[in-house]
Chain A
Amino acid sequence: LTLCWFFYLAIGHHIPIYTQCLILVISNKESAAQQKGLLIFGVVLSVLLQETFRFAYYKLLKKANEGLLTLSQEETMPISIRQLAYVSGLGFGFMSGAFSVVNILADSAGPGTVGIHGDSQHYFLSSAFMTMAIILLHMFWGVVFFDACEKQRWWAVGAVVISHLLVSCLTFQNPEYVASLVPTYVILFLMGVWAFYSAGGSLKNLKLCLTCKDKDLLLANHRPR
């Protein structure tokens, strides 16, 4: 079931990504200064659009899940909202990553590398790392966002939106790859920790897992896996 949800969300989430691409394509035709302005506008718009869609999906998924529950015989939900958050975030991330990397991959197939007009030749490597960061970030944002919506913590929702905007704007630092990648990874780490905690993790659990005492704990509490 998780897999089904994942694919559905992945396909569904490409609407905001697509609009972002459209904006980029349109902006290509203008002059350089106008292009920069249009690009910034486009990026901001697409971030807001993505977050709006995320919220819409949250509402939709909650309704759908409750509906399924009334239909089914079981007592518990087939899929928890946390799992939904994870899957939705991953779907977003996957789509976003695919759109940003497929183009680059296609062009990298031919001979040669970036640099004839003076750009850095580490273009491919840094795009790859950036894409990875974005995918993981989307996943963490999904988890935090859904959790915040559940608990009506609107400031957390705002923090997610702001951090998304921040990361997108950091990409304008390219080709200063250090300046854009390092802060992005810092934000990634912070968001990861936040998502871990909001998903129900804690330092105690982590230590338990790492020292392989989890089996003993389970056995002690007679809890099935």
Chain B
Amino acid sequence: MIEKLLRTFMSWTAVTQIFHSLFRISASLSGDVGVLHVLESEANLDWVLKTGPNPPYMVILDSTLFTRSIMMKLKTGSSRVAGVVVVAPSSNPSEGFSPHTTCPNENSGVYSESYDPALAHCNVTVWNPLGNGLSYEEYDFPMFSLKDDNDTQAIKQCYYNHNHVVNGSSPQYPLCAMQLYSHMSAVTDTATCMRRNGINFSLNPETVCDPLGDFNVLASTRPLNYTDKGHKTGESVVIAAARLDSRSFFFDIAPGAESAASGFVTLLAAAHALRNATQEAEPNRTILYAFFQGETFDYIGSSRLVYDMENKQFPLDLDNVHSVLEIGQVGLHGESKLWVHTDPVSRRNSSVNEEVEKLIKNLNSSALNLNFSLQEPSFSQPLPPSSLQRFLRARPIPGVVIQNHNSAFTNKYYESMYDNAEYLNMSYPPNLTPEEQLEYITDAAKALTEAATIVARALYTQAGGSDPIQLQNINVDSQMVTQMLYGFLVKSNNSWFQQMVPSDFAIHLRDRPTNFYVGVTQQHSEPTFLVQYLLANLTGTTVNITQDNCQNQREGEDDKESKHIYSYMWVQGAAPPNSTERVAFCVRSTVRLSKALSPAFDLKEYTSKDYSTWTESRWKSIKGRIFLVASHELEMLTLGVGVAVLIASLMLTYIISSKADILFSSGREPTAATY
């Protein structure tokens, strides 16, 4: 009860996380307390940084004020700033916002001084011009994000009631203040915190940070024997790649609609469309579908796969790779045109160039019969940030990256919390139930269906398939594309996903958009699992074996070989129309998870320039609360009065007890009578 009188806990939706190598925020162990200040404009920053009489301040920013110039000023004045709260708007800002740098993954791609100095550091094309680099700065105060709802209104109201200043006068105590808890254990950078992880003076060495990472999801049209690592003679593989992850400034919100989902959903749909063609009339090359995790953070997944291939830790090696077709950001906003990016340096080699030209020709011929156009960029420019760059770092491999932009990104919200379903034009008519929304084919789905069909047919041809009838029959189902987009960008807890996952994962399906942040290695991210199960169902076959055999990765009691080649999943299935019991079944597929942890951590090279060294700090609870703070004078007065009363009562007690005989003598009778 008294706690309620004193302070109100607010419900926080997100907070920034501390990463390493470049980005850092620090917060104190007991929480940071600051007097609230709602920032009205950039000029109002003066109050916070110079003139305000009650520092430190807890600054509340509307999203329009969350810009680089304001944040940099707050950063330099951080002794007077206790924390920053950003109020997330309910709709995307029209001018765009990207907290990533202007040249994403600048130092971990293939374009360096040694490869081609003219192309390094985005000298030719600045890929992310709207990037303000906020995610890659160090801050000395915590930063939280709040949805614009009743709690936020209460906070602003508290400010207007108590702290608001009119005409330059100082606000009177008591003032409204806020406390934010987001203590992060790790400090400085990855090398320091990994070193501290290893120190074990006590019985329980405390881990302060963990490397980022997860798993890549891989599948192939022909099964690979995963115990047979290293070069596989006679095998020629076409890698079809897409990235799985995204991020934003704040933890727990990374909708990644265009930066991640558009790409991998297209690849998933293409893989499904190719299922029949690759099973019935097998083309001579194998297609390896690769969904890389952690690409946002200096290509964790793809660098790991290349490393494994180079070190004979994978059933294929780089000599087996024939070509790479990567699907980047392919969300379309009205136009029916995609761009095919290639690497000019590797194309100086004539044999590589020849293969690239063939690949582009395949793509173009697939696009002919559809109302689509695929073009190469009008001038020679390097590859945009893509997993192909890591392959090229190892050796020149023919490859293309399909994007929706000619030169700079058209994505205004690259790697930000605004890159969501709304941006991808996934608009549903009003008054639809969730089930109806799941089935409704949005414009975004239609566009991606076209893109996926092109990719699927091109892959078929690239893999050596030559049957024109098969080619014509490769068609992507737009119903499936829209269901996938709904599941990843609106709600993963829907009936279609429910059918395709095992029952123990079904409870993890959420009623909110998927969070595409890769997270630490120990914690498995939701998109990895979802893509794994989806890929298994879409490229695999149902086999009629018992649940016990299925879950033990074998087809029969004595089968010891199948688990090296196939993977078996016991999925929930759907309930038939007249009952509520789901009919579960076993799906056999070639889907595998391969570890996506940066080689820097295996090699213990924490300052490596070749591999990603991103880590995330351990943190305790994240919460915040608001209350009023009293003036210093009142606090001193209370203390003074208390001490005075204590001393006075002690003295009085002593005096009275020493004179008790006299003071209380009149009632006493001369004889000592008992009462």
Contact = CB atoms under 8 A, between A and B. Distances in A.
A206 interface: yes
Nearest to B641: A125
A225 B662 CA distance: 9
B626 A116 contact: yes
Contacts of B675: 77, 80-82, 150
Contact of A113 (B158, B626, B627, B664): B627
Interface stretch (A15-23, A155-163, A195-203): A195-203
A55 interface: no
A112 B176 CA distance: 9
A93 to B, nearest CB: 12
A124 interface: yes
Given A80-B675, A205-B663, A111 B2 contact: no
Contacts of A209: 659, 662-663
A76 B1 CA distance: 51
Interface in A74-105: 75-77, 80-82, 103-104
Contact of B664 (A200, A208, A218): A200
Given A116-B8, A205-B663, A217-B662, A77 B674 contact: yes
B43 interface: no
Contacts of B672: 75-76
Contacts of A201: 663-664, 666
Contact of A116 (B179, B627, B664): B627
A116 B176 contact: yes
B429 interface: no
A80 B665 CA distance: 13
A121 B665 contact: no
Given A77-B674, A111-B629, A125-B641, A116 B6 contact: yes
Interface string A174-217: 00000000000000000000000011111011101100001001
Contact of B627 (A28, A104, A111, A205): A111
Interface residues of A, number: 43
A115 interface: yes
Contacts of B665: 200, 205
B628 interface: yes
From B33, B637, B667, residue with most partner A Cβ within 10 Å: B667
B270 to A, nearest CB: 56
A67 interface: no
Given A75-B672, A209-B662, A113 B667 contact: no
Interface string B541-576: 000000000000000000000000000000000000
B179 A124 contact: no
B2 A132 contact: no
Interface in B88-118: none
A104 B663 CA distance: 37
A132 B642 CA distance: 11
B171 interface: no
A43 B98 CA distance: 61
A191 B57 CA distance: 50
A199 B628 contact: no
B29 interface: no
A121 B628 contact: yes
Q: Interface majority SS on B: helix, strand, loop or mixed? A: mixed
A218 B672 CA distance: 18
Interface in B73-96: none
A214 B659 contact: yes
Contacts of A103: 2
B666 A112 contact: no
Contacts of B638: 124-125, 128
Given A209-B659, A209-B663, A114 B6 contact: yes
A69 interface: yes
Contacts of A111: 7, 31, 33, 177, 179, 627, 629
B645 interface: yes
A209 B628 CA distance: 49
Contacts of A200: 663-668
B469 interface: no
A28 B177 CA distance: 28
Interface in A31-84: 66, 69, 75-77, 80-82
B634 interface: yes
A27 B1 CA distance: 12
A107 B628 contact: no
A5 interface: no
B582 to A, nearest CB: 42
B5 interface: yes
A113 B662 contact: no
B174 A115 contact: yes
Interface string B519-531: 0000000000000
A104 B2 contact: yes
A75 B672 CA distance: 9
B666 A214 contact: no
Contacts of B158: 116
Contacts of A116: 5-8, 158, 176, 626-628
Interface of B: 1-8, 31, 33, 158, 174, 176-177, 179, 626-630, 634, 637-638, 641-642, 645, 659, 661-668, 672, 674-675
Given A111-B33, A115-B174, A117-B8, 14 more contacts: A82-B675, A104-B2, A110-B6, A111-B177, A113-B630, A113-B634, A114-B628, A115-B627, A116-B628, A123-B5, A128-B641, A132-B645, A200-B663, A208-B662
29 contacts: A28-B1, A75-B672, A76-B672, A77-B674, A82-B675, A111-B7, A112-B7, A113-B627, A113-B629, A113-B634, A114-B5, A114-B6, A115-B174, A116-B7, A116-B176, A116-B627, A117-B4, A125-B637, A199-B667, A200-B663, A200-B665, A200-B666, A200-B667, A201-B663, A201-B664, A205-B662, A205-B665, A209-B659, A218-B662
Interface of A: 28, 66, 69, 75-77, 80-82, 103-104, 107-108, 110-117, 119, 121, 123-125, 128, 132, 150, 198-202, 204-206, 208-209, 214, 217-218, 225
